[in-house]
């Protein structure tokens, strides 16, 4: 007759089922239960690592005996110390899942305190590794935040911000009326770009070092025009003297001492009583006005002499730098213009035309040609006093008192070494050339 299945929870496990069949009577059943309970207590450290679905763990926890009961074992049975010694070859009951053999490789590794939990599957481990790599890369890519500089080291970004940050009430408190007027004109020019006019009193050279992109340090020198109206030193660098595309040789700036120039203040150094200006910006403003209001043939304009050489003259007129020759300046022949014109002189000129965006002027055409009516004032055969202006190819240019030019030769009893430029001589009028508007004569004596 088949044996009834035990109601004890231990019958759910194959180990207990085998032991029950081996025990022939009810006396051994109690002893077997005691042995199984003892084995469960000895292997409690392994049961904590098993999964929640393992029924062995649940049964072992419910049936764990007291220490006294675990030590007592019936006679004739050998107490087993390891659960692995139990025969597990018996197949499980129908509908019961197979019990996996616990081993060290299948048990999950317990994390050490302080370490991040490790993933229990390969996809999770791979994802965690990828996240860690991305986090490390992001930390390396992002530079550490820079500490903001102290407030004392923060300087204004440009000259205009530096200007507006000044305390003018404190700086201008002790100024004299002349100084206050000078500074007010400079302030107005800086803020509204209005044009100022001053006289060049000298040229300064400033040397400084510049670090190139490749790290090479180069020493450079900048030449500047110096203008001092009353007390403030205004400097115009050579890069701001000429218009774009109309630059002149560097040595030309030294010849501008004494010239009157227009400029616009670009930067103000109130503490050091100096400023930086630009003539180029003033020229741009003046050119626009000149081209809009010019009336060729009718307007009389003012030209400021900037540079003087032996045969040419540079003047500033309406924002344009114009080069004039002797034919544009005087009806009379002038051998050396440096004896007649100086930087800073103002000349009145007539605006003749606008060519290629530049005005064409003539200084001599402001006044009538002195040749007109000269045949009545100096008839042929008369003698007049004149001044030798120059010599060319054996001829002598003499100027009559009414600025008429007379081309002369020496008489038979005079020679060239006896006469110098600037000497006063007596001229005999011999001929009039109405086409060229010239008078011819001979030098008959020295006065």
Per-residue pLDDT of the chain (447 residues; tens, 9 = 90+): 444 444 444 444 555 554 445 444 444 445 445 444 544 444 444 444 444 444 444 444 444 444 444 444 444 444 444 444 444 455 555 555 555 555 554 455 555 554 555 555 566 666 777 777 766 665 555 555 566 555 544 554 577 777 777 777 788 888 899 999 999 999 999 999 999 999 999 999 988 777 877 888 888 889 999 999 999 999 999 999 999 999 999 889 999 999 999 999 999 988 888 999 999 999 999 998 888 888 776 789 999 999 999 999 999 999 999 999 999 998 887 878 998 899 999 999 999 988 888 999 999 999 888 999 999 999 999 999 999 988 888 889 999 998 888 999 999 888 888 899 889 999 999 999 999 888 999 999 988
Measured CA angle at 196 (ends 181, 323), to 5 deg: 155
Residue the block writes with tokens 């000044």: 166
Residue 153 belongs to a domain: no
Mark whether 229 and 336 lie in a shared domain.
no
Mark whether 182 and 217 lie in a shared domain.
yes
Mark whether 408 and 348 lie in a shared domain.
no
Mark whether 269 and 173 lie in a shared domain.
yes
Mark whether 407 and 331 lie in a shared domain.
no
Mark whether 206 and 303 lie in a shared domain.
no
Mark whether 274 and 352 lie in a shared domain.
no
Mark whether 167 and 257 lie in a shared domain.
yes
What is the C-alpha to C-alpha distance for residues 352 and 331, in angstroms, rounded to an integer? 17
What is the C-alpha to C-alpha distance for residues 355 and 332, in angstroms, rounded to an integer? 26
Domain limit, last residue, from 339, 366, 393:
366
Residue 419 belongs to a domain: yes
| Residue 106, CA distances (Å) to 75, 83, 226, 372 in order | 37, 17, 92, 128
Mark whether 164 and 259 lie in a shared domain.
yes
Residue the block writes with tokens 């390969």: 122
Residue 164 belongs to a domain: yes
Domain limit, last residue, from 279, 306, 333:
279
Mark whether 189 and 267 lie in a shared domain.
yes
**Domain count of the chain?**
3
Whether the Cβ atoms of residue 119 and residue 125 lie closer than 8 Å to each other: yes
What is the C-alpha to C-alpha distance for residues 444 and 209, in angstroms, rounded to an integer? 66
Residue 23 belongs to a domain: no
Residue 46 belongs to a domain: no
Domain residues for 332?
Answer: 294-366
Domain of 273, CATH number, reads: 2.40.50.140
Residue 435 belongs to a domain: yes
CB within 8 Å of 135: residues ≥ 6 apart = none
Measured CA angle at 86 (ends 85, 91), to 5 deg: 135
Residue 82 belongs to a domain: no
Mark whether 188 and 269 lie in a shared domain.
yes
Domain limit, last residue, from 325, 343, 366:
366
Where b means 16+ CB within 10 Å and e means fewer, 223-256 reads: bbbbbbbeebbbbbbbebbbeeeeebeeebbebb
383: three-class secondary structure by DSSP: strand
In total, the chain counts a number of residues equal to 447
Mark whether 382 and 361 lie in a shared domain.
no
Residue 57 belongs to a domain: no
């Amino acid at each position: 007759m088949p044996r009834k299945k035990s109601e004890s929870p231990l019958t759910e496990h194959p180990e207990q089922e085998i032991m029950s069949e081996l025990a022939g009577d009810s006396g051994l059943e109690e002893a077997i239960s005691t042995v199984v309970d003892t084995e469960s207590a000895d292997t409690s450290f392994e049961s904590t690592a098993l999964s929640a679905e393992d029924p062995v763990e649940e049964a072992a926890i419910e049936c764990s005996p007291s220490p006294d009961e675990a030590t007592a074992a019936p006679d004739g049975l050998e107490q087993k110390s390891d659960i692995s010694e139990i025969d597990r070859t018996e197949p499980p009951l129908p509908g019961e899942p197979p019990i996996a053999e616990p081993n060290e490789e299948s048990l999950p590794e317990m994390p050490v305190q302080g370490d991040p939990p490790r993933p229990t599957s390969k996809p999770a481990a791979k994802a965690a590794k990828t996240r860690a790599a991305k986090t490390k890369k992001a930390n390396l890519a992002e530079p550490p935040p820079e500490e903001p500089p102290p407030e004392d080291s923060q300087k204004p970004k440009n000259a205009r911000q530096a200007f507006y940050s000044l305390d003018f009430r404190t700086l201008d408190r002790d100024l004299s009326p002349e100084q206050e007027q000078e500074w007010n004109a400079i302030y107005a020019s800086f803020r509204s770009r209005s044009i100022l006019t001053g006289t060049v009193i000298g040229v300064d050279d400033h040397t400084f070092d510049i670090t190139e992109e490749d790290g090479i340090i180069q020493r450079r020198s900048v030449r500047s025009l110096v203008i001092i109206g009353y007390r403030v030193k205004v400097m115009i660098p050579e890069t701001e003297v000429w218009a774009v595309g109309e630059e002149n040789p560097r040595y030309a700036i030294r010849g501008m001492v004494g010239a009157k120039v227009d400029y616009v203040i670009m930067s103000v150094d109130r503490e050091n009583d100096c400023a930086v200006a630009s003539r180029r910006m003033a020229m741009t403003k003046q050119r626009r006005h000149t081209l809009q209001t010019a009336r060729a043939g009718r307007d009389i304009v003012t030209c400021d002499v900037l540079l003087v050489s032996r045969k040419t003259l540079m003047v500033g007129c309406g924002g344009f730098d114009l080069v004039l020759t002797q034919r544009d300046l005087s009806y009379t022949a002038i051998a050396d213009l440096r004896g007649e014109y100086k930087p800073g002189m103002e000349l009145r000129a007539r605006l003749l035309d606008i060519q290629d965006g530049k005005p064409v002027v003539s200084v001599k055409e402001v006044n009538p040609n002195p040749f007109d009516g000269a045949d009545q004032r100096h008839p042929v055969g008369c003698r007049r006093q004149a001044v030798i202006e120059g010599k060319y190819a054996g001829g002598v240019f003499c100027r009559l008192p009414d600025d008429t030019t007379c081309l002369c030769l020496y008489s038979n009893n005079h020679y060239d070494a006896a006469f110098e430029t600037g000497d006063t001589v007596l001229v005999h009028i011999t001929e009039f050339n109405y086409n060229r508007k010239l008078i011819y004569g001979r030098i008959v004596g020295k006065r």
